[in-house]
A and B are shown apart, each in its own frame.
Chain A
Amino acid sequence: MLMGPSGGGKTTLLRQLKRELTPVGTGSGIVRYAGLTLAGLPAERAAAEIGMVFQNPDAQIVMDTVWHELAFGMENLGYPPQVMRSRLAEMAGLFGLEPLLYKPVHELSGGQKQLLNLASVLLLQPKLLLLDEPTSQLDPVAAREFIQTLHRLNEEMSMTIIISEHRLEEVLPLADRVLLIENGVLKAACPPRELVSRAGEEQALAVQAYMPTAARLYLELPAQENSLSRPGFIPLTVREGRRWLHDYAAAASLGLPGSGVAGPACIPAAALVPGDDSEIMHPHKPDKKLPLLSAKEVTFRYEKEGREVLRKLNLTLYQGELLAVLGGNGAGKSTLLHVLSRMVKPQRGKVVAAPGITAGFLAQNPLLYFSYDTAREELQHMAAAARLAPDEAGREISRLAEVFELGQVLENHPHDLSGGQQQKLALAMVMLLKPAVLLLDEPTKGLDPAAKVRFAGLLALLRSQGMSIAVVTHDVEFAARYASRCALLFDGSITAEGSPEAFFSSNYFYTTAVNRMVRDLLPAALTIEDVMTAWHVYASR
């Protein structure tokens, strides 16, 4: 497994391993595959035995139907029809693609598309599989399924897999070796548990952001002077973390003076003071809540005969809050934002905005916003569209460029920016409209952990200026950490809402990894910070 911040050279390294995709440039050193240099490998072996799956599920599909896409690679290598037929039958069975075989590709969900991509590479029977952030565009359920499939391939066929990933919670425990790459330099190459213990020793915060929750919690809590802190015991999964925590709590209640009651129940849940250690996490709520934007019994469907995507939905967005709307795939989360931003008109019900309020909408794909040659031009045209006077526009643009850290790249072509920068540029463009309400569609998709933290900081800044933000997301950890209110969209309407603590602690599965680990001890703890606060309160008694 490869990990490290975006732009650190993970993709470049992976591409060096796949001969057909080696980027143009100057290079030195040699890559050997099974004893041969990569350049000396016959073309057919290079194509078949080294398979690669990319980030964007849509862009790597070539054909229009599923069976044709599966056959594409085999057709290229000129396999006889009989071989193709039996291989395809086998792979379709393995991946459960049989019912989809004759479907056009665009009817597939993102997760299905990525599985299709994997299957079509596997049909060439590769010995080495390279994956470049394959799950970054998928929702958590689809991502987990994809990673499970990879795990199965690795376990059952002993296929060598090299994967670069940001979704560490699931992948890291499965990895045999972890390579940490930063700025093109290999920082570490060791088994995951060793990496965790090393990160603990060095107190390297940057590395810690890449650890799964259980490992981070292990590092945060003060080490105990017994067998529990052996490196072999470092927990990586929720299950391991939970077991370890129970032992830890039991040991702590015995070892610490002043705690009369044995057992884990002695850490009172009431002692949790949610997030008083950081302004980012839960800024003080305004006393009187001013509703800015509300949907009243909104019903929406895309086609006359179609399914009702939203059904009598009621939702109100108040001033200065960060509302996170969660929900499964196809639950209508994006549609809800489209309705709220009045891009589409609901069939029944209405969307009411406070007078003089505009809503800004940031779509999932920032490329939708760009149509000029430099980032500065984009902003200037947007300012003109927002009817700002030229000097005011100039001031506003330089202010936004500073806030969004875009000063360096203003003269670049928008398509040349990194994913995170593109998103910021699009957000800056939306901000020029001076919206009082910001509607964001999956803003954390594909961001690395550090970028997520920076993005959250940005949102907190906007909120402190009195803006209210609604985020539609799959990212439970993000919602738990930074939202002031959470809502669950299911079956076309909001079925549950409340503060993150109340919302997530009542859920069994749809909650953060920390909560799943510590729910017996601290039912209301959602983040590592929550646990640490509770620990400090407990330890100081």
Chain B
Amino acid sequence: MSSGFRAMHPAVALLYYAGLLLFAALLMHPLFLITELVGVMLLLLLQGQGKQLLRGLPFYLLMAGSVALLNPLFSHRGAHILFYLWDQPVTLEAVLYGLIMMLVLLTIFMVFLSYNYTVTTDKFMYAFAAAAPKTALLTLMAIRFIPLFQRRLHEITMIQRFRGIDVSKGSLRKRMRDGMTLMKVLLTWSLEEALQTGDSMKARGYGIRRRTTYSTFVLDRLDTTALLLLVISGLIPLILWMLGYGTFEIYPRMRPLVFGGGEALMYTSFCLFVLIPAGLEGKEIWLWRSSRRKAYPSATPELNGTRSMSSPSQ
């Protein structure tokens, strides 16, 4: 399925995910982190990735939870000592810091889950090609070779078994030697073909002049609007953060959370940034529902009773 946020220009998606990662790393504020986490999970659910999310959740919780648990055990900084464990002080600051790190980790996991679904390889390569065209071309060619080599190696293995070259039988030494032989066959064969590939590239004018890139992605009005919104709503919290708003200081001594006017503006703008893609997905779903519910009004007046086109007129 390719609609909603996933169907948009790669630049939109890349900007969004880069922003999310940046905020997850910068804003060590529980409110912002929880908002971001909820926002990304909402996007995942709207994209129909609920199953994927559930399958991975135990792992993510284990990883993130262990950070929350281990931090107070190893870090003893902070002024508020809760209790002593094996003669080691467990501080409130360390517990809180651990919990916040857990949130950060969970958020990053979720962001990557969503990123993997939204930004496919060719979208990434498209964005990448603008920055480093030569490397991008090389990477694309290499991508083609992976399944190709797999299939070839399978063929070679089958055939070479006739001459006793088999990696599944014999001593470790023999197996390793046989494995090398198989690789050698694969490489000589592939190099031979690579010569022809090179010819074919040269024949089509590779290296004559600077390459342009053909793209299947076009920036449309919705994309530009979304880009603009993302940039504005992302810049506001970033600037405010630099000015010192919305910070939550834990070490060396916890300061109370403040939530003033600056924070309110920052939070509103942040919410907008996080929820734009989810909003786009939601709109898509709503569009489909509504388009299915009511048919377009027809220009021809409807007659009474049902008529069928295929019924023979008598």
Contacts and interface: CB of A to CB of B under 8 A. Distances in A.
A61 B141 CA distance: 10
A71 B214 contact: yes
A245 B210 CA distance: 60
Contact of A44 (B199, B201, B209): B209
B58 interface: no
B174 interface: no
Interface in B180-238: 181, 184-185, 188-189, 192-194, 196-197, 199-216
B214 A20 contact: no
Contact of A415 (B155, B164, B192): B192
Contact of B159 (A51, A59, A369, A381): A369
B205 A48 contact: yes
Contacts of B202: 20-21
B216 A67 contact: yes
B215 A60 contact: no
A75 B211 contact: yes
B144 A64 contact: yes
B203 A85 contact: no
B156 A361 contact: no
B204 A120 contact: yes
Interface string A60-77: 111111011001111111
B163 interface: yes
B196 A20 contact: no
B147 interface: yes
Contact of A338 (B158, B193, B203): B158
B151 interface: yes
> On chain B, which size bracket covers the interface?
35 or more
B134 interface: no
Nearest to A72: B204
A428 to B, nearest CB: 13
Contacts of B176: none
A370 to B, nearest CB: 7
A54 B199 contact: yes
B158 A77 contact: no
A72 B209 CA distance: 13
B249 interface: no
A422 to B, nearest CB: 11
A74 B205 CA distance: 9
A81 interface: yes
B81 interface: no
Given A63-B140, A64-B140, A363-B159, A43 B188 contact: no
A51 B203 contact: yes
Given A63-B144, A368-B159, A21 B185 contact: no
A104 B120 CA distance: 14
B59 interface: no
A292 interface: no
Given A75-B213, A367-B189, A47 B208 contact: yes
Given A54-B200, A63-B141, A343-B161, A76 B188 contact: no
Contact of A85 (B122, B148, B164, B214): B214
Interface in B18-67: none
B7 interface: no
Nearest to A74: B214
Contacts of B211: 75-76, 78
Contact of A81 (B192, B206, B215): B215
A49 to B, nearest CB: 10
B117 to A, nearest CB: 17
A84 B214 contact: yes
A470 interface: no
B268 interface: no
Interface string B134-170: 0000001101100110010001101111111100000
Contact of B205 (A73, A382, A430): A73
A369 B160 CA distance: 6
A433 B161 CA distance: 12
A76 B203 contact: no
Q: Identify whether the interface residues of B are mostly helix, strand, loop, or mixed.
A: helix
A139 interface: no
A429 interface: yes
> On chain A, which size bracket covers the interface?
35 or more
Interface in A353-391: 360-361, 363, 365, 367-371, 381-382, 385
Interface in A433-488: 433
Contact of B196 (A59, A64, A77, A81): A59
A44 B214 contact: no
Given A63-B144, A68-B140, A44 B205 contact: yes
A91 to B, nearest CB: 13
A85 B216 CA distance: 9
A62 B193 contact: no
A385 B197 CA distance: 35
A72 B140 CA distance: 11
A340 interface: no
Which of B162, B207, B216: most chain A CB closer than 10 A? Answer: B162
Contact of A56 (B143, B185, B193): B193
A62 B209 contact: no
Nearest to B188: A415
A385 B210 CA distance: 53
A81 B214 contact: yes
A61 B216 CA distance: 20
A58 interface: yes
A319 B86 CA distance: 85
A80 interface: yes
A85 B217 CA distance: 11
A104 B151 CA distance: 14
A71 B189 CA distance: 27
Interface in A94-141: 104-106, 117, 120-121, 124
A82 B147 CA distance: 32
B215 A433 contact: no
A516 interface: no
Contact of A121 (B140, B158, B161, B204): B204
A344 B154 CA distance: 12
Nearest to A47: B205
Contacts of B210: 78
A189 to B, nearest CB: 25
Nearest to B180: A371
Contacts of A433: 162
Contacts of A81: 212-215
A75 B211 CA distance: 5
Contacts of A60: 196-197, 199-200
A124 B204 contact: yes
A370 B200 CA distance: 25
Contacts of A120: 204
A343 B158 contact: yes
A64 B188 CA distance: 21
Nearest to A413: B188
B273 to A, nearest CB: 30
Given A72-B201, A75-B211, A368-B185, 9 more contacts: A44-B205, A54-B199, A59-B197, A61-B144, A62-B200, A73-B205, A105-B144, A371-B165, A385-B164
19 contacts: A58-B193, A59-B194, A61-B144, A72-B204, A74-B214, A75-B213, A75-B214, A78-B210, A79-B212, A84-B212, A106-B144, A117-B200, A121-B203, A124-B205, A338-B158, A363-B159, A369-B159, A371-B181, A433-B162
Ranked nearest first, the 9 interchain pairs of A and B with the lowest CB-CB distance are A47-B205, A71-B214, A60-B200, A73-B204, A64-B144, A59-B196, A385-B164, A59-B193, A385-B163
